[in-house]
Amino acid sequence: MAAAESSERLVRLLTHDSEILDRWVEAVAEILRGRISRAELERELTDLYQALGQALREGGLNWRAEEYSEVRALLVELSRNRAQHGFTPTETATSLFACKDVVAPTATSSAEDISAYLQLGRLLDALGLFTIEAYARTREEIISAQAEQLLELSTPVVKLWEGVVAVPLVGTLDSARTQIVMEKLLQSLVDSESEQAIIDITGVPAVDTEVAQHLLKTVVAARLMGAECTISGIRPQIAQTLVALGVRFDDIVTKATLADALRYVLRRIGTEPAATGGPK
Amino acid sequence: MTRLAEDVEQTVPIVSNDDVVRARQLVRTLAQQCGLSLVDQTKLVTAASELARNTLVYGGGGAMHCATVRRDGRRGVHAVFEDSGPGIPDLDLALTDGWTSGGGLGLGLSGARRLVDDFELDSRTGVGTKVSVTKWAR
């Protein structure tokens, strides 16, 4: 029954002093310097402390065991919380590692206590790594969610006039983004019953053959739906580069600025813009 | 044709679409440092974009090495794109406008050659492909 004995000793090490939890909270509060409320921290660590004690009693040192499922769940929640509130990985992990300092042996500790401390230390190290992994996972989730939001945000389709929609493109155009642009543009042509679309590439830093090909495909798709596409925002350096590349926008109307494109489109649909602007 | 490297060469691995963007950004930064005009910057960046994408799509991934260089008092940007892919069996055909073995426009390689000042293409079937380009400030 050596295992049971050793886990008994570990539990004793963790719970021999009623102040251990308080000192743990104190130590963590100092590291996080008031960026998390004391009450919340106390609640978090009390739950963790109790779960840890219980898990040690029932499951021994194997932190992957079933008995530790509550500890693991609490740690995942803790790191998720920390990641969302912008704490660093170090600050997150020390929430756990601080416990080691609190139960550290003193000069008067017995040999059994010291060996128990070392075992507990190893366990907490493993749980610390687990915490960091959970933290990193949460951060990755946040980043990929942001990337998706950005993708959505960066491709608005705006209605410029009755029957005229425009997509101002900003940033790098890759296949994934062009796909979204094309879908949104074609859908909005249907929704707004527009027959004219303007794709503005003023904000696209470089137009290479892939981008050009994507633009051409979008124009052809719009044409199949009976809509006419104008590409605007072709700056001098882009024009010269496209010529050198050998890309031809032969039968597509292109304009230097969005204003030129709008003026052209309005003329096409027979609405001359008034001096003050606004549809007649 | 002596080319003196000015700075430490920087390397960007090209294994994903994001790396193509990174390669392009590095080239743009160096082009700005060298004082290339806006048109030349855009030309070089576009050429880098084409070649980096070729490295990724046709070479199965590789790397770009890039540095600022100096020759006869002129500054420039030198970039090398290397992969160990299948190589190009027919260089003349690959450099023909409109010819592609994939689904592109067939202008990337030939267009990139027109966009830069110096262009060297070295490819061996089964070994890999190496494209070196330089753009000089005017």
Instruction: Specify the residue for token string 């493993």.
Output: A126
Tell me the nearest-neighbour CA distance from B41 into chain A, angstroms.
9
Q: DSSP readout, A66-132?
A: GGGHHHHHHHHHHHHHHHHTT--HHHHHHHHHHHHHHT---TT--HHHHHHHHHHHHHHHHHHHHHH
**Confidence band (pLDDT; 50, 70, 90) for B104?**
confident
Predicted pLDDT at A254 = 94
Pick the CATH number of B4-136 from 2.60.40.1180, 3.30.565.10, 1.10.150.130, 3.10.129.10: 3.30.565.10
Classify domain A2-148 at the CATH class level. mainly alpha
C-beta atoms surrounding B132 within 10 Å: 18
Predicted pLDDT at B110 = 92
**Superfamily classification of domain A158-268:** STAS domain (3.30.750.24)
What is the SS3 assignment for A196?
strand
CA distance from start to end of chain B:
17
Predicted pLDDT at A147 = 79
Predicted pLDDT at A280 = 45
Q: What is the mean pLDDT of residues B12-26?
A: 90
C-beta atoms surrounding A172 within 10 Å: 18
Cβ-Cβ contacts under 8 Å, A244 against chain B: 43, 111, 114-115
Q: What is the mean pLDDT of residues B74-102?
A: 91
**Confidence band (pLDDT; 50, 70, 90) for B6?**
low
Pairing label, strands A196-203, A253-255: unpaired
Reported pTM: 0.68
Domain residue extents for chain A = 2-148, 158-268
Nearest of A130, A188, A136, A122 to residue A159 by alpha carbon: A188
Pairwise CB contact (< 8 Å): B46 & A208: yes
C-beta atoms surrounding A160 within 10 Å: 17
Give ipTM to 2 decimals.
Answer: 0.86
Q: What is the mean pLDDT of residues B52-68?
A: 93
**Confidence band (pLDDT; 50, 70, 90) for B30?**
very high
Q: What is the mean pLDDT of residues B130-138?
A: 94
Cβ-Cβ contacts under 8 Å, B49 against chain A: 206, 208, 210
HSE-CB for A35 with a 13 A CA cutoff: 14
Predicted pLDDT at A1 = 43
Pairwise CB contact (< 8 Å): A237 & B105: no
Residues 6+ apart with CB under 8 A from B127: B84, B87
Q: Which residues in chain A show pLDDT less than 70? A: 1-5, 152-154, 272-280
Q: Give dist(CA A189, CA A252) in Å, integer.
A: 18
Measured torsion, CA atoms of residues B16, B22, B23, B25, in degrees rounded to the nearest 10: 150
Domain residue extents for chain B = 4-136
Instruction: Give the rounded percent of residues in chain B with a pLDDT score beyond 90.
Output: 68
Predicted pLDDT at B37 = 93
